[in-house]
Amino acid sequence: MRNILFSVLCVIGLSACADSFPPVMFMPKTVDTASSPITDSALGQVSVTAEKSGVGWYITPENFRIALIETFKRANIFGDDRTKAITIDARIVKATFPSGGFEMTSDLAVHYQVRRADGTVLLDEDVSYQGRATISEEFFGSAIALLAFQRGNEGHFSILLPKIRNALARGDSPAK
């Protein structure tokens, strides 16, 4: 409850002085931190773009890129093999922030292409998730919207990270 309240206060405070949410708002809190975080050389290049329509005011490609990199570093899903840097291209297709109502939803849909340094495509697909929160929960107003937003982000990453782990486990075989 305290985390949500703190997050709501941060969002309200940051909304007044920023055009978009800071990267920390997109990072899932459910990612386990690896004992040895990934290095920049093992991760390689990460680029993020956004569609012109369907992407809300609160997200920018740069803020999502920072959150994506930090999430990957915390999870260390690429291991410590620095000879095969991974390149990730992410295109934000849909990103919505909840508006008022009895049930609030927040969508996050991103198309990912993950490649090895030699150009082998490991993953090429859309990952989308819709976070939901209702007035029946113990929160009110903007806290419900923030809860739906947080659930949308965490759900998105809970789908993405295993997909990337599976693609890496398949090795150099082509992505399905």
Q: Which contacts (CB < 8 Å, 24+ apart) does range 55-61 have?
A: 55/92, 55/93, 55/94, 55/95, 56/95, 56/96, 56/97, 57/19, 57/20, 57/97, 58/20, 58/21, 58/25, 58/95, 58/97, 59/20, 59/21, 59/26, 59/92, 59/95, 60/19, 60/20, 61/92
Instruction: Supply the pLDDT for residue 85.
Output: 73
Q: Which domains are seen in the chain, by residue range?
A: 2-170 (3.30.160)
Mean pLDDT by 10 residues, the chain (176 residues): 44 48 63 56 81 88 88 73 74 88 86 89 94 74 80 89 85 49
pTM score over 0.85: no
Instruction: Supply the pLDDT for residue 3.
Output: 47
Burial of 3 from C-beta contacts in 10 A (0-12 / 13-18 / 19+): exposed
